[in-house]
Amino acid sequence: MHEHMDHNKMRNPHNSHHHDSPVEDEEIRDWKKRLIGAWLFTIPIALLMLFERIFGMMLFGEKINTIVLLVLGFPVIFYFGWPTIKGGLRGLFTFYFNMDSLIALGTLIAYFTGLFSLFFEIQDYSGISSMIMAFFITGKYVEAMARGRASQEIKKLLELGAKKARILRGNKEIEIDISEVKIGDVIIVKPGEKIPTDGVVLKGESAVDESMISGESLPVDKLKGSNVIGATINQDGILYIKATKIGSDTFLSHIIKLVEETQSEKVPIQKLADKITSIFVPAILVLAILTFGSWIYLTKDLSRSIGVAVSVLVIACPCALGLATPTALMVGSGMGAKRGILIRKGEAIQTMKNVRIIVFDKTGTITKGKPEVRNVYTKINEKYLLEKTANLEKNSEHPIAKAIVDYVSEELKIKRFSEVKNFKTLRGRGVEGKIGSKKFVIGNRTLMKERKINLKGYEDKISDFENSGETVMIISENEKVIGIISVADAIKDDSVRAIRELKNQRYKTIMITGDNEITAKAIAKQVGISEVIANVLPENKAKEVERLQKYGMVSFVGDGINDAPALKQSNVGIAMGTGTDIAIESGDIVLTKGSLIGVVQAINLSKATFSKIKQNLFWAFGYNVLAIPIAVAGFLNPVVAEIAMALSSITVVTNANLLRSKRI
């Protein structure tokens, strides 16, 4: 991750985002209060009504009974249920109808039958109106809880962060609150402690458990110059870390922001559901009026007609519809976050199921992005060749030199290196120097040609390795070739498995790279990708994606700055979280583990979540569509109608949570 800082944020990292009390928590608390209040008044109403139904007698006279019901019902409807009434009535005047419109109308009409019954001969439904509202508020509380559970995922992420940091001020160690850490502060982290914020190691060596970020169970070794991420756990050594990012710029904050953004996103199918609601609600209002009219016409019974019309309004309220998409999306994005799959754009869940072509960037996506030794070939003692090569390469900063030194240290367990005299780096070609009285030159064909060193006896092997896409280092001692070492960008351990699984699911896989055709084809063959687009300039990656989009929806998987335009251009951009900030910002889905198995899991998760959304919408509408004719026919008491409606919301929430048991 490279640092790109906004200086305003640096001064006060905490002004951008307050997580202390998420909106959801306040909402849950608010509905809980309303729920308790509503039932405190509704239970006596229910008892009064039951008494009348079961024993056929009233505790008070008929008129007084009605007045008691109206008085007890008033706070339920006009105080605890006021947000619903207000929202619903506003919709009637602005012609923007929503779920609340039906409940508001139903409860108000039922309540006013109580008032009218004092003066006219009609049945009193005012008690029922309170029960409808109490059930509705219960549903709203369940809904807020479901949303809150999703924000629990964010809470868990927040709790990962350290609360305090031990920093060096002068020569003194002082402990301060994490919010007081400034960029450039030197933080001391002892074994077993959390690393407070993103930074770079100045001194010390240790292994760090980064499983919360990468999902990898093995600790990662950190030495001077290594980058560390806040909230990861230091294992065995003391680390002195210079803070490079604080507050809302840290990796953890970015993840939290991503999860939050996803959960407020609207999926296209949700927009469709909203559209349906805006037609459905006025249609039900018309149906309720027609039902009332025909009942009055056929039975001449005003109170029965009002009761039936109220039942139609109540049962038709598609509250579950409002829950259908968000609950599934929240459970899905929460499951993803646990597995290192961050869904940044909700609509990616819907688009993913239509993707047929998956394009992979090569370096850092399919491959590790750093070279490793592949082959060693020599006609002399291999140990001698490796020792001398490592002695020279130890003085070079080049990644290939580092790869060779790492390999030799691992193979021969060399701890001490001989002294090299007259060492020189020959940019783009190799290195040279003397060990004892012998002169060594290590480099590519160009360097050997320059020094007129004959490649006799090694030419075939050099060509073989180069045709396999490997970079060859030729080692000469006193102007005579003594061996060759080939280096290549290693494939990530599970790239082969991931590509195989995608092929089994009938996806077309393509690799795109700036490398030459030979290297590209060699890597593609190893992972099992049949189609390669090589020699692509960074700025042309997006154009290639656009060209492929003529044949179907395309998902692009990449990790670098140069992948950002292609990630944006594709229908679903999948960014490797091990990559650059800008790539991550451009992705619709981010894989924090940097493994291609995440692509397979992201596809499976998207499909599972989307099918849950569809099931939920079916359940939400199914209840209503089946129950409306029963209500129109007069077979549903308004209270039964509200219980059925509450059940549909519970079904939807339960169904969304069943997603957790899915294997992805």
Q: Which residues are catalytic?
A: 361
Angle, vertex CA 578, rays to CA 659 and CA 248, nearest 5: 80
Q: Report angle CA 354, 360, 365 to the nearest 5 degrees.
A: 130
Displacement of CA 407 from its chain's centroid (Å): 37
CB 269: neighbour CB atoms within 10 A?
17
Q: How many CA atoms lie within 13 A of 420 on its CB side?
A: 22
Residue 257: CB atoms within 10 A of its CB come to: 16
| β-bridge pairing 471-477 and 480-491 | antiparallel
| Burial category of 607 from C-beta neighbours within 10 Å (exposed 0-12, middle 13-18, buried 19 and up) | middle
CB atoms within 10 A of CB 460: 9
Q: Is 607 helix (H, G, I), strand (E, B) or coil?
A: helix
d(CA 213, CA 216): 8
- CA 584 to chain CA mean position, Å: 11
Other CB atoms within 10 A of residue 621 CB: 18
Q: DSSP string of 315-377?
A: HH--HHHHHHHHHHHHHHHHHHHHTTEEE-STHHHHHHTTEEEEEEEIIIIIEEEEEEEEEEE
How far, in Å, CA of 515 to CA of 530, rounded? 16
3-class SS of residue 480? strand
Token output for 626: 């089946």
Crossing angle of helices 302-316 and 268-299, in 10° steps, is 170
SS3 percent helix, strand, coil of the chain, rounded to 5, is 55, 20, 25
- Angstrom distances, CA of residue 395 to CA of 389, 392, 441, 536: 11, 6, 13, 34
Compute φ and ψ for 580, nearest 5 degrees. -85, 160
Q: Are 653 and 142 in contact (CB under 8 A)?
A: yes
End-to-end CA distance of the chain: 28
Residue type, 256: I
- Do the beta carbons of residue 383 and residue 368 sit within 8 Å? no
Render 537-596 in DSSP notation, one character per residue.
-GGGHHHHHHHHGGGSEEEEEE-SGGGHHHHHHSSEEEEETTS-HHHHHH-SEEETT--T
Q: What angle do CA 399, 403, 404 make, to 5 degrees?
A: 120
SS3 assignment, position 96: coil
Nearest residue to 304 (alpha-carbon basis) of 316, 317, 294? 294
